[in-house]
Amino acid sequence: MSMPTATGPLAGIRVIELGQVIAGPFCGQLLGDLGADVIKVEAPGTGDVLRQWGPGDAAGGSVWWQVAGRNKRSVTIDLRVAEGQRLASLLAAEADILIENFRPGTLEKWGLGWERLHEVNPGLILVRVSGYGQTGPFAGLPGYAAVGEAMGGLRSLVGYPDRPPVRIGVSLGDSLAGMFAALGAVAALEARHSSGLGQVVDASIYESVLGITESLVADWSALGRIRERSGPILPGIAPSNVYPTADGEVIIAANQDTVFGRLCEAMGCPELATDDRFRDHRARGERQEELDRIIADWSRGIPSAQLLETLREASVPSGLLYQPSDMVDDPHMRARGSLVEVPTDGYGPVTMQNAFPMLSGTPGSVRWAGHALGADTDDVLENVVGLSSDRISALRRDGIV
């Protein structure tokens, strides 16, 4: 199978991705977007369960898989049998990074723990993604994003104060764990330049969520203050909210003093900027509801497009609440190439997010969408591991690949 040559900053780096669903595979997706050769190992016959998640059809499988499996080569190996574990060890010997997101102890049970992998390949970086990390009393428990988001402090902050917490509409905890895992992987690659040795990157879901909670714990430690759910606002940060228009809603964020002054000019109420009720950040935060009502009374009679034009001319941060249809038509996203159209086997050209962040000298790219299960097994086992075609055929007959 002919595939585009990688040109990103990680071109030449080989990654073995074990595990399934989101957290570990998202780490692999990010590294693949940046040019790494990602070899995804899946169970024969079934593959990653993400192949069946989300909308799709019987012919094309999951559309989600076209994104999650992009820039990866699919190899089927049964890791639960000794010969499959031997094949995984051979792949690890030829890799720079190995990603896994099984429950801690699983690799060790298969004879693929850190000691064994380090012996096979001293330069290998083992990226381990789990709910609670590789150590501690919770390490062996199953950990999903929902639980990690709760333990990391995020779930208690999302929603309205008079209702139970809600979840964000994406698996944020999993994706954050994948991002922190990818950051750890490239940091370990940099460290390897001087030491020549790999190391273990231990990324947990709950700590990845905890890592983005700003001063949540410090506020409690220093001031005894506990952040509460606050709906669409951040308490004390005003004005910054969703406001009604004549035909929908817009986001306006004008909480900085100078920006608030520009908003007041755009509203035709310049006196608000010097009104003692709103003249500085603290005053606006104390009268947040009152200020939001004033802005809403002004905005609700203006069509969204006209309102945004007025606010942008005044250099007031503002925008629509985008749906996918807005994204694909947005001139800024088109100009930057934020979305790309990628050929797929089951759905024809599919539009998806591009590779981020954008690098000026060695940009990443989406080279292909998710491959069919096992599409690259023969190629990888022959050209990476060095097995003969007869040996690969025998492994297939035995159900190992």
Tokens of 103: 């429950």
3-state DSSP call for residue 73? strand
Which distant-in-sequence residues (6+ apart) come within 8 Å of 316 by Cβ? 252, 254, 259, 262, 263, 266
Q: Which candidate, 240, 236, 283, 231, places its Cα nearest to that of 259?
A: 240
- Whole-Å CA distances, 372 to 11, 162, 381, 387: 23, 47, 17, 22
Distance of alpha carbon 252 from its chain centroid, rounded? 26
Please work out, in degrees rounded to the nearest 5, the angle formed at the alpha carbon of residue 184 by the alpha carbons of 180 and 186.
120
Catalytic residues: 174
Q: Is 244 helix (H, G, I), strand (E, B) or coil?
A: strand
384: amino acid identity, one letter: V
The region, left, alpha or beta by phi > 0 then psi within -120 to 50, assigned to residue 86 is alpha
Contact 366/71 with Cβ under 8 angstroms?
A: yes
> For residue 270, what is the enclosing H or E element?
none
